[in-house]
Every structure is written in C-alpha cells, then in structure tokens.
C-alpha cells in the first residue's frame, strides 16, 4: 500500500524523467545537415535511378576499388592515334626517313622538374611499346595508366580513387564512371596551360 507521499515522489520522478528525455530528444535532433549526414549510413542504390543510360562503351572496369565498390574508367588505347605501337616498333630499327618527326613530332615533353625531366622510357616499356612500365618493372596497360602515374602522384591517386580529384563523367547516379588521368592531362605535359577565361565575371556589388 503506497502512502500519498510515495505517490508524490513517484509522480515527480516520472515527470523529471519525461523532461530529461524530451530535452535529450530535442538536443539529439540538433546539429543540422552535418548530423543528418552522420546519421545516413545506408548506401543509396545508384542503380535505382531509371533515367541513367547504360555506361559508355569506351570505359573499362578499374583495377582498384573505391569505398568498397568497383568503378569504371575511360579507356585510352582507342584514343591514341596509330595504336598499336608495335606496328612500327617491333624490335627492328624503324627504316623510314624522318620517322620521329612524322609520327611523334606533336609531342613536347614537359613532365617532371626542369632539373630532372622524364624521358620516354621512364614510362614506356622499351621492349614492348604497347604497354607502360613502372619503376619496379611491372607492365601497365595504357587503359590503366593511373597505376603508373600513382607511383609519384600517390596523393592524387588516393584522392582520385575516392572522388576528390578528377571527375565523374556526366552522371552522379548510375554506375560510377570517372575520367582517367590522361583524359584531362596530357601525359607528356600534364600541367594545365595558362589561358584567357571563357567569359568574364560581374563584380560582386553593382
């Protein structure tokens, strides 16, 4: 049998608990968009967006994984003029006059420090011209040149895999398709050139 005093204390405890819980609830909902992001842990099914077309044909599955999933990169071999290279470079001297000028005259090499410029065979394999070669001697397919560039530019490679460097091709939804290193950078002169802007800005305050 409860006395009225016990009842009073019981009621006060329940009320106090309610106030604390309500306060806690209100507090936990604060934090705005950052909290919303932290709470979102289930992956979004990118394939559920119906309007996304199938992946472009000139892409290939990357040999690395990003955030636990696979992704595709743009191909390179079909964009290199006169691929395969072994058509001319087949372990015999090329017996055409001015062959270097005719075939590779458009290449200006400006890669690496001015003190230590890279040479052709830093990246190209001397024995098999169809592939690239790393410092360790691993042969790298031209479609997967990020394996080669990532030797020195490892920070950029890490960012590129995650999505902070480089860019996706046209669609944020659907299967992830990203630009390859050589899609944006000329591998022989990778720095972007100085040029005039495409258009001009209006002043901040008119």
Partner 1 sequence: MGFLKNKSGRQQITDEHRPCQDSGRREFLKKAVKAAAIGGTAVVTGCQAPGLLGSKEEFALQFQEYFKAHYRLMTEKERDTTITRLERLAKLQKNVDVQISSKEAMPGVLFGYGFNVTRCEGYMECVSACVRENNLDRKSNMQYIRIFEMEPGQMTPDAGQGKFFNEVPVDGRFYMGAQCNHCDNAPCIKACPTKATYREPDGIVVVDYDWCIGCRYCMAACPYYGRRFNWNEPVVPVKEITKKQHYLGNRQRRRGQMEKCTFCVQRTREGRLPACAEACPTGARIFGNLLDPKSEIRFVLENKKVFRWKEELGTDPKFWYFID
Work out whether 152 is an interface residue with partner 1 (CB under 8 A). Answer: no
CB of 102 to partner 1, least distance (A): 30
What is the rounded CA–CA span in Å between residue 147 and residue 125?
14
Q: Which one, of 121, 41, 54, 53, lies nearest residue 89 by Cα?
A: 121
Work out whether 54 is an interface residue with partner 1 (CB under 8 A). Answer: no
- Exactly one of 55, 168, 186, 190 binds partner 1 (CB under 8 A); that residue is 168
Work out whether 4 is an interface residue with partner 1 (CB under 8 A). Answer: no
What is the rounded CA–CA span in Å between residue 141 and residue 20?
62
Contact between 183 and 80 under an 8 Å Cβ cutoff? The reply is no
Work out whether 110 is an interface residue with partner 1 (CB under 8 A). Answer: no
Q: Which one, of 115, 121, 143, 117, lies nearest residue 134 by Cα?
A: 121
- Exactly one of 91, 98, 102, 199 binds partner 1 (CB under 8 A); that residue is 199
The two most distant CA atoms of the chain are separated, in Å, by 113
Span 26-45, contacts to partner 1 by CB under 8 A: 32-34, 36-37, 40-44
CB of 99 to partner 1, least distance (A): 33
Instruction: Compare residues 135 and 159 and give the one whose CB is closer to partner 1.
Output: 159
Cis peptide before 50 (omega within 30 of 0): no
Which residues share a beta bridge with 133?
139
What is the rounded CA–CA span in Å between residue 80 and residue 58?
13
What is the rounded CA–CA span in Å between residue 168 and residue 185?
15
Work out whether 198 is an interface residue with partner 1 (CB under 8 A). Answer: yes
Work out whether 167 is an interface residue with partner 1 (CB under 8 A). Answer: yes
- Exactly one of 19, 21, 49, 107 binds partner 1 (CB under 8 A); that residue is 49
Total residues at interface with partner 1 (CB under 8 A): 46
Q: Binding residues for partner 1, per CB under 8 A?
A: 32-34, 36-37, 40-44, 46, 49, 51-52, 66-69, 155, 159, 162-168, 170-174, 179, 184, 192, 194-204
């Amino acid at each position: 049998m409860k006395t009225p005093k016990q009842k009073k204390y019981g009621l006060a405890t329940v009320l106090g608990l309610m106030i604390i819980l309500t306060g806690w609830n209100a507090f936990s909902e604060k934090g705005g968009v950052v909290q919303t992001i932290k709470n979102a842990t289930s992956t979004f099914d990118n394939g559920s967006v119906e309007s996304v077309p199938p992946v472009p044909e000139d892409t290939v599955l990357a040999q690395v994984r990003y955030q636990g999933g696979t992704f595709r990169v743009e191909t390179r071999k079909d964009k290199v003029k006169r691929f395969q290279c072994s058509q001319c470079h087949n372990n015999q001297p090329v017996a055409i006059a001015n062959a270097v000028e005719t075939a590779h005259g458009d290449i200006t090499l400006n890669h690496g420090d001015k003190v230590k410029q890279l040479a052709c065979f830093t990246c190209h394999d001397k024995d098999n011209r169809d592939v690239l070669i790393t410092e360790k001697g691993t042969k790298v397919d031209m479609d997967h040149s990020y394996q080669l560039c990532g030797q020195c530019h490892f920070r950029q490679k890490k960012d590129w895999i995650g999505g902070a460097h480089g860019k996706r091709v046209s669609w944020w939804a659907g299967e992830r398709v990203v630009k390859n290193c050589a899609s944006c950078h000329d591998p022989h002169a990778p720095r972007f050139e100085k040029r005039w802007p495409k258009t001009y800005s209006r002043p901040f305050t008119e």
